[in-house]
Structure 1
Amino acid sequence: MTSFEFKWTKTKKSYTSKDSGTKKTKILKEKEPRDKNDPKEVKKKSSKLQNKTEVTFSKIKTTDNQSFIRRKRKKEKTKVLQNERNVQSELVKGHSMQHSMFSEKYKNIHVNTKIRGASVVEKVFSAGKKFNDLPLHKYLISNLEKNNFNILTNVQEKSIPSVLQGKNCLIKSQTGSGKTLTYAVPILNSLVNKTPKLQRTDGIQAIIVVPTRELALQTHELFGKINTFQWIIVGHLCGGENRKTEKDKLRRGLHILIGTPGRLLDHILHTSAFNGKNISCLVLDEADRLLDMGFKKDVVRLVEELDRFKTNSSYDPLALLKGKKPEEVETDLANVDINRQTLLVSATLSKGVAELADFTMKDHVYIDAFDESETINPDHMVIPNTVKQEFILTFIKHRLVTLSVLLISKAKCSNSKTIVFMATTQMVDFHYDLFSHYLLKMPKNKGKLKVGDVLLLDEIDIEDFEGEDQVLDIELFKLHGNMSQQERKTVFSDFRKTKKGILICTDVAARGIDVPEADCIIQYTGPQSDEDYLHRVGRTGRAGKSGSAIIFLTHEEQDYITRLQEQKVFLKEYDKSILTNNLKDFMEETDENKATVLLQKRFESALLKDKELHKKACFAYSSWSRFYSAFPVKMKPIFDLKKINIGHYVTSFGLQDSPTIVAKIVRGQAKKVDPKHLNKKLANHEDNVELRTKRPKRPIKSLSLTTSEYSSGFEPAKKKKKKNFND
């Protein structure tokens, strides 16, 4: 660069360039007096002041950088708070109708919800055929009739005769069509007709593999209802139970064994009391779910071990003594007839299920309960026509309030059971605690909430209310995979027994679970596959009963309605007028927008006061974001994390923090915990003084570096100091 030396005079400016060495002069104009009221002069003066402030800030930045940053952050924080207040005031006054929860004018639905077509419907019941028309034991038929199992379903009519003949079968039917009885009835019938009667020493006769612990308990319960034969023993094995107790069951003897793949394989490999030589029937229930949950290797290994039981039982050690060669003995073992019936039961038929069927059985019969025209695509979802399928399109910020009002509406119904599916275990724990303490219970003087302007809610403290009452007469349950086995068993049995309840759960309860009177299914988070949607909805409308299924969608996710229409599933929009009236009655507020703000404020204030609940909300949001970013490729265009406002989703968890702060809380970099205050009587130092000084690390002495290779390994004797008698 070229440098210059300046020499100033009153009327001219001279400077010498070092590069050229020439001296140049420039005549400067003398300053003329200006009018102070001239607008040009005023503008010029303001620009000078602005430049001066910039120079001042630059000086502060170089001299005292920390104070400048502190002031700058304070200004930004004040600006953000002011913007939030403006948005809140507009929401309350109703000026910003696009944030209205129940607005019909600004729904912004671009999906055509009026498309209707012929849904793929599978006939549930047969043409009036009954169990007594089948060649079954008379006492077994009477047990079925006592439990109101009279008319055969379509899948039972097609499958049970083939199963009674001992054929290998691959059975496909929709959820809730009675697939469990298709193998339970033939198994019990074959064991009852055995002569002589079974003894405990005869060992296991049938094994039923199920994907979840709850389904194992449910299947065991069904066998207990129709099995009144005291000499036939039914038991179940599943993870979380005491292995020693299960070993005692196997040692005493079982005939029908139900269990999950991991625990069954564990006992087959490590329990000597497991006697599988006489197994004549293997059932893989919910085969598609077994593959989805990653149990394929366990199932394959389990089948191989059962085959090994058969081959070992037929092994003849005297064959070598009779003069046979070892090669001939091995060929005999390869041709051993396994003589075991295998049944695969599934709600969907995928490529993996077909491959598993080819591996586990030979010459099997394929039975499909759906027998309509071949022109219909078999990949279309088959859902009972007794299920009313609806969707709720809501703004992201109002998801929590909308779910709360929907549960309030269900609580007013008599003898109703609702299952709410959520994505993660952290979401289940948070919403269960939030609704248990701050929705089922509300302040006695709720009228205090609506005194004056809504913005005065910031001055109201939860502790100011004069106690709380139980306002919703309904039981709340939660169920997920991280709970202990005893807790899961208790929750599952209690929810089935109760007359009126709400179960918040993950997809652990989405397959094969049969809950009586489950009349409503709510999908709070979208499914990651079409099969998940099918099985979630299948928890209601079972065996011809009516039910409803509601899915929550945001405006960014409404294309999922079109995807379902391509699968011959047609959804209607939920009538929000019911929610509007219930919300106003519940919050004692005539204006629906104010009632929405009041309930949201109730949850936000609860999180501010309850630090443990605030922490759970942060972890719930973090787990949701990881779930949302893990959607498969075919679902990414609909559920895309890049297209949504994650700050609004933070609000849907009742949090008032930014996503960055929530992430720091989860990582442990920022904790909302008050500092521990020291007792001033016992210590003179302040709270911010380090109490402990870091101790220097002691050097590590290596024995291999300080010991000679010729040493004996003993420590050398210490030399005694010689005493000096002259001292």
Structure 2
Amino acid sequence: MLSNAKLIRDTTLSTGRERPSDSSNDAATLSDPNLEKWDGLPSDEDPPKTFRDLGVLESLCEACDSLGYTKPTPIQAQSIPLALQGRDLIGLAETGSGKTAAFVLPILQALMNKPQPLHSLILAPTRELAQQISQVVEALGALISVRCALLIGGIDMISQSIALGKKPHVVVATPGRLLDHLENTKGFSLRQLKYLVLDEADRLLDLDFGPILDKLLKVLPKRTTYLFSATMSSKVESLQRASLSNPVRVEASTKRQTVSTLLQSYIFIPQKYKDIHLVHMLYERAGQTAIIFTRTINDTQRVSIMLRALGFSAIPIHGQLSQSARLAALNKFRARSRNLLIATDVASRGLDIPSVDLVLNYDLPHDSKTYIHRVGRTARAGKSGIAISFVTQYDIELWLRIEKALSRKFDEHKVIKEEVMVFSERVGDAQRVAALEMKNLHDRRGTPGATLRHKRNGKRSRDDMDQDEG
């Protein structure tokens, strides 16, 4: 929260308060003593209660009110005043923290003060996140007639070129598709750009966008830059050094954790009975909405087919699907025409999917950070939720590492074995149906793993990179 606020810095901000840097848990400050760190408001000031208190203009406050943004989140309360001063920012915040509005509002306010086309560029790692950001830009900018262009793979470049020809104020893009337009779309240039946002910077670098980002940064003019990331890794720090000028670092929280309204547990089961336990659990919670996370595209597709064969309303989402199919899957799940979303980690981060009752880790994630992002799909905005993880005999060490990283022991979810095994015959039949359909899919298209990464001169194509590694 905003209590125990402190300001760590080398030069004085407008508050005039200084405190020596405590770099024991601050990797960026360790390596860069000139990096200012802003952890909140001075302790003798009341935290802002509205966006108006932060200095946001009235027309934008009205847009916030219409969208139900009644009170600034911690990352918004810390970032927006500094952004309105024209500072470069490094924002460390988890998904669901409200960081999109934290950088969109200052950009729109600067645009209102000095209107111009191609004023701002926002880069995101995945198509869904880019689309979600563009929707926020359009919603917050509706009262001031902001034009926003979305540049992502999987959509015809000609229609995007037409949108760019209308001189939008804000461009939201994935890096690969943006570079394609800079190289191939006549008349498109970012020479007059005033603001650059790198959202989910750690994710951008995880997806190997580094070389493309290097090319983009070389052609962009001097501008105000915001870098938002869940973690401050060495790669992100290098990107910060290359793209930001005298930035201030703000953090919404200093420790990765899950919300108190989330009930978390695990179930220890033999590997060969995972499908039977999954079906038993879904029958126990019939009618609830759930996201079931798997590790591979193949399992995502297989589990979805198996569950549909058993009469469940399930739909898969993963990086191998076309853009239209992925958006259709999300929209059906949001509209509750499908109540089970079977997903790789393409859905674990950055996507706003409201009203999820249950998150099931069919396969455990590889690290605690991904675990937090997955279970964060439920218990959002103060609501309660349930997260259950399947732990097999092969997952014990991984599960213990996750518990250790989160500094807690989770309760075991108890089941009665005889009740579970009642489903074994029906699940066996559905598994055979799924195996046959998967074989037919592989025969027609090749395995998902083989077709996930299209190649261009031995490398992943730009259009393929902005899907997701999931």
Common fold: TM-score over 0.5:
yes
Shift of 1:384: 2.7
Partner of 2:94: 174
1:427 is paired with a residue whose SS is helix
The one of 343, 348, 364 aligned to 1:510: 348
The reply on whether 1:282 has 2:196 as its aligned counterpart is yes
Asked if structure 2 preserves the Cα contact closer than 8 Å seen for 1:424 and 1:623, the reply is no
Shift of 1:364: 0.8
Partner of 1:300: 214
Asked if structure 2 preserves the Cα contact closer than 8 Å seen for 1:389 and 1:570, the reply is no
Structure 1: which 5+ runs fail to align?
Answer: 1-121, 308-337, 372-379, 441-474, 581-591, 625-727
The reply on whether 1:235 has 2:59 as its aligned counterpart is no
The reply on whether 1:388 has 2:226 as its aligned counterpart is no
Query: Percent identity of the aligned residues?
Result: 31
The reply on whether 1:602 has 2:426 as its aligned counterpart is yes
Q: How does 1:537-552 map to 2 (within 5 A)?
A: 537-552=375-390
Shift of 1:353: 0.8
Q: TM-score, normalised by structure 2?
A: 0.79
Q: Distance in 2 between matches of 1:420 and 1:610?
A: 17
Shift of 1:531: 2.6
C-alpha distance after superposition, 1:99-138 (max 9, x if no partner): xxxxxxxxxxxxxxxxxxxxxxx99xx9562112122221
CA change 1:127–1:600 in 2 (3 A) is farther
After superposition, the CA RMSD in angstroms is 2.6
The reply on whether 1:151 has 2:102 as its aligned counterpart is no
The one of 165, 180, 192 aligned to 1:251: 165
C-alpha distance after superposition, 1:371-409 (max 9, x if no partner): 6xxxxxxxx633333322211111112110111122223
Partner of 2:302: 430
Partner of 1:366: 249
C-alpha distance after superposition, 1:170-195 (max 9, x if no partner): 1102321111111011111221233x
Asked if structure 1 preserves the Cα contact closer than 8 Å seen for 2:320 and 2:448, the reply is no
Q: Distance in 1 between matches of 2:187 and 2:370?
A: 38
CA change 1:384–1:141 in 2 (3 A) is same
CA change 1:410–1:499 in 2 (3 A) is farther
Partner of 1:89: none
Q: Distance in 1 between matches of 2:198 and 2:269?
A: 41
CA change 1:381–1:546 in 2 (3 A) is same
Asked if structure 2 preserves the Cα contact closer than 8 Å seen for 1:214 and 1:492, the reply is no
Q: How does 1:546-625 map to 2 (within 5 A)?
A: 546-577=384-415, 580=416, 593=418, 596-608=420-432, 612-613=436-437, 615=439
Counterpart AA for 1:264: L
Q: How does 1:4-153 map to 2 (within 5 A)?
A: 127=47, 129-153=49-73
Q: How does 1:444-459 map to 2 (within 5 A)?
A: none
Asked if structure 2 preserves the Cα contact closer than 8 Å seen for 1:216 and 1:260, the reply is yes
Larger-Rg structure: 1
Shift of 1:597: 4.2
Q: Distance in 1 between matches of 2:47 and 2:145?
A: 35
CA change 1:134–1:410 in 2 (3 A) is same
Q: Distance in 2 between matches of 1:616 and 1:399?
A: 24
Q: Distance in 2 between matches of 1:542 and 1:520?
A: 12
Q: Which moved more, 1:234-243 or 1:518-527?
A: 518-527
Q: Distance in 2 between matches of 1:182 and 1:618?
A: 44
C-alpha distance after superposition, 1:478-501 (max 9, x if no partner): 111111111112222232232871
Shift of 1:609: 6.2
Shift of 1:239: 0.5
Q: Distance in 1 between matches of 2:166 and 2:185?
A: 13
Partner of 1:487: 325
Q: Distance in 2 between matches of 1:609 and 1:258?
A: 42
Shift of 1:217: 1.4
Q: Distance in 2 between matches of 1:292 and 1:478?
A: 23
Q: Distance in 2 between matches of 1:241 and 1:614?
A: 27
CA change 1:482–1:606 in 2 (3 A) is same
C-alpha distance after superposition, 1:400-449 (max 9, x if no partner): 01111222233244xxx311111111111111111112243xxxxxxxxx
Structure 2: which 5+ runs fail to align?
Answer: 1-38, 41-45, 450-470
Q: Distance in 2 between matches of 1:538 and 1:186?
A: 27
Partner of 1:204: 118
Partner of 1:357: 240
Asked if structure 2 preserves the Cα contact closer than 8 Å seen for 1:381 and 1:569, the reply is no
